[in-house]
Amino acid sequence: MRVLICEDSVLLREGLVRLLEHSGHHVVADLPEASGLMDFLATVNPDDFPQIAILDVRLPPTYTDEGIRAALQVRKAYPDLPLLVLSQYVEERYASELISTQSGAIGYLLKDRVADVNEFIASLEQIAAGGTILDQEVVSQLLTRRNHDDRMQRLTDRERSVLAAVAEGKSNQAIAALLFLSEASVEKYITSIFQKLGLEADGTGNRRVLAALAHIQNLGTNSTDRNGS
């Protein structure tokens, strides 16, 4: 798998390079900032074009939202390029803005998840294959913020737990094991969730996650209004 990294921390960037190469993947570029990202993608040899890009949310020069703006720019120019955004903390506004693009594979993880090497590599590979992975902390905060949504209030506590697990990219089998349910029960809960949220599920894991998160699409707008920006 060919990977592009855009991360300003030398330690994390070099750590990711070593981790990925040790896992059999190829890092096509490791950039310290987003300024050269689009130029690289525009000029890179097609045989070396990345199969997934990893970007930090906060990058030079202001360390505010350069990374997420770069991710949105990449998503617009290369909608089929899977993206994994790394963040030190849960950035609800940025997470919801990226999720709301609704195109292409996407991941949003907290940086401390990199410490679990096997899980991180598995998440990266799942995103590169077209899946969507959201950090459980991101999911939890986004869902909490949307508690005022009438549709969310239709869900039971158990359905909320199942929805959070679905949004994390877990399979029905994994959800069943996590919540001590049968797989049949999980399927019933998921069916009920989609019905209550007015969403249509399909057979692909990626679309299932995006559908489960459709009810938070306007979170970014709401957050922008609250922040006055």
Rg, the chain, Cα only:
18
Cα distance between residue 187 and residue 2, in whole Å? 35
Half-sphere exposure of 42 (CA within 13 A, CB side): 8
pLDDT in tens, 88-131: 876 666 666 676 655 678 888 888 888 889 989 999 998 999 88
Q: Tokens in use for 102?
A: 């609704």
pLDDT in tens, 6-39: 999 999 999 999 999 999 999 999 999 999 999 9
Q: What is the pTM of this model?
A: 0.67
Q: Taking a C-beta distance cutoff of 8 angstroms, is the pair 57, 94 a contact?
A: yes
Q: Tokens in use for 180?
A: 């001590």
| Contact partners, residue 149, CB within 8 Å, separation at least 6 | 215
First-to-last CA distance in the chain?
38
Q: What's at 146, amino acid-wise?
A: R
Question: Would you place residue 225 in the very low, low, confident or very high pLDDT band (cuts 50, 70, 90)?
Answer: very low
| Tokens 């737990």 belong to residue | 161
Cα distance between residue 81 and residue 44, in whole Å? 14
Q: What's at 137, amino acid-wise?
A: E
Cα distance between residue 205 and residue 116, in whole Å? 23
Question: Would you place residue 229 in the very low, low, confident or very high pLDDT band (cuts 50, 70, 90)?
Answer: very low
Higher pLDDT, 227 or 130: 130
Question: Would you place residue 171 in the very low, low, confident or very high pLDDT band (cuts 50, 70, 90)?
Answer: confident
Cα distance between residue 173 and residue 179, in whole Å? 10
Cα distance between residue 175 and residue 33, in whole Å? 38
State the CB neighbour count (10 A cutoff) for residue 25.
Answer: 19
3-state secondary structure of 4: strand
